[in-house]
Amino acid sequence: MILEKIESLLKEVSEVSASNAEELEALRLKYLSKKGEINALMADFRNVAADQKKAVGMKINELKQTAIEHINALREQMETKNDDSEELDLTRTAYPIKLGTRHPLTIVRNEIIDIFSRMGFTLADGPEVEDDLHIFTKMNFAADHPARDMQDTFFISQHPNDVTKNILLRSHTSSVQARVMERTQPPIRIICPGRVYRNEAITARAHCFFHQVEGLYIDKNVSFTDLKQVLLTFSQEMFGPETQIRLRPSYFPFTEPSAEMDISCHICGGKGCGFCKHTGWVEILGCGMVDPNVLELCGIDSNVYSGYAFGLGVERITNLKYLVSDLRMFSENDTRFLKEFESAN
């Protein structure tokens, strides 16, 4: 009886197969574990006649050996098969590709462009390496204006007897106003985003390069009211509909009258906090009516046309929107900082 059982188990065990690790484990449990079929034979072994014990014992050992070898062989087969299939599985989904993130200044610049585009402004562009004529002279800077000094501006080359031919890194995007006006007759309605350079020590609050967006509108009968309305719309689109603006008289060589514009502090809602130095207001841009001298210097008849201009700092707006307290973060390429803007568009 027992011998027959062993024979049939031997046959069974050498024919079994498994197609995955779970099935293999089930086989191991079925035949080789403590409660498995082979151990169960041991119970019957006690009743075997003494003269047959040796033969039956050997047969059980053979069965156990066969089971171990066959199950090990199946395991090995499965492992090598897995290696091969990993190389060959062309249908597997690709690993997700890690994309970079937009720089916070780019995010904000795009938003500024977007808002002014909706108000009819088109994009203009000009060189970063520019001559004095466009940066200073045509923008009505006096010959002895301090911005023309090496201490404020990076010069690339200085002309021995004609300062207007000096070549420098532009210190503001207002130079693009001159570039556009000398080649286009009004109506003109442009914005120009771009990088500017100043000879400043690098600290948390100042940098030797930063970004501006220049705006220029020239047509017949343009008034200060038009300027105010455009700037109010921009501020409310950028910082929320409850935002208020305040214009303070100021001075720029290329505008008359000139103003600096503050927005109500969107952190405390104008009540006063550490961020707005308890004034309730934060400055975001300079603006004014284009000085008739500038129009004339750029070939536009100031008796027929008038216009307004404004210039805003992209870093400033980004600081306000995202509360970045140190300007150096923008150019250090620290991915821990840049990744914080991953979900912004």
Q: Work out whether 319 is an interface residue with ligand DAH (CB under 6 A).
A: no
Nearer to ligand DAH, 137 or 255 (CB): 255
For residue 306 the two structure tokens come to: 């008038």
| 310 lies in the binding site for ligand DAH (CB under 6 A) | yes
What is the C-alpha to C-alpha distance for residues 102 and 338, in angstroms, rounded to an integer? 8
Q: Using CB under 6 A, count the residues that bind ligand DAH.
A: 11
Query: Which residue's CB is nearer to ligand DAH, number 136 or number 341?
Result: 136
CB of 277 to ligand DAH, least distance (A): 20
Cα→Cα distances 187→112, 121, 215, 222, 311, Å: 21, 11, 13, 10, 19
Q: What is the contact mask toward ligand DAH in residues 188 to 227, using x (rule: CB under 6 A)?
A: --------------------------x-------------
CB 132 within 8 A of CB 95: no
d(Cα 232, Cα 238) in Å, to the nearest integer?
A: 10
Asked if residue 175 binds ligand DAH (CB under 6 A), the reply is: no
- When binding is defined by CB under 6 A, the residue of 137, 140, 166, 174 that contacts ligand DAH is 174
Decide if residue 288 touches ligand DAH (CB under 6 A).
Answer: yes
Among 136, 252, 330, 341, binds ligand DAH (CB under 6 A): 252
Q: Give the residue from 197, 218, 208, 214 showing the smallest Cα distance to 252.
A: 214
Q: How far is the CB of 250 from ligand DAH (least distance, A)?
A: 8
Please identify, using beta-carbon distances, which residue of 60 and 192 lies nearer to ligand DAH.
192
Pairing state of beta strands 122-123 and 188-197? parallel
Ranges within 253-272 binding ligand DAH (CB under 6 A): 255
* The CA-based dihedral angle spanning residues 166, 179, 224, 197, taken in that order and rounded to the nearest 10 degrees: -50
Q: Which stretch binds ligand DAH (CB under 6 A): 20-28, 79-87, 285-293, 335-343?
A: 285-293
Longest dimension (CA), the chain: 131
User: What's the CA gap between 145 and 325, in Å, rounded?
Assistant: 31
CA distance 248 to 286: 10
In the complex, minimum distance from the CB of residue 196 to ligand DAH, in angstroms, rounded to a whole number: 7
> How does 33-60 read in b/e, with b if 16+ C-beta sit within 10 Å?
eeebbbeebeeeeeebeeeeeeebeebb
Minimum CB distance to ligand DAH smaller for 28 or for 316: 316
Burial class for 190, CB neighbours closer than 10 Å (0-12, 13-18, 19+) = buried
Task: Pick between residue 63 and residue 213 the one whose CB is nearest to ligand DAH.
Answer: 213
Q: Does 309 bind ligand DAH (CB under 6 A)?
A: yes
Radius of gyration of the chain (CA): 40
Task: Single out the residue of 109, 138, 148, 172 in contact with ligand DAH (rule: CB under 6 A).
Answer: 172
- Phi and psi (nearest 5°) for 241? -65, -20
Nearer CB in complex with ligand DAH: 197/239: 197
Does the protein bind ligand DAH through residue 318 (CB under 6 A)?
no
Q: List the one residue from 311, 314, 319, 320 that touches ligand DAH (CB under 6 A).
A: 311
Stretch that binds ligand DAH, among 31-39, 85-93, 101-109, 307-315 (CB under 6 A): 307-315
* Contacts with ligand DAH, residue ranges (CB under 6 A): 172, 174, 214, 252, 255, 286-288, 309-311
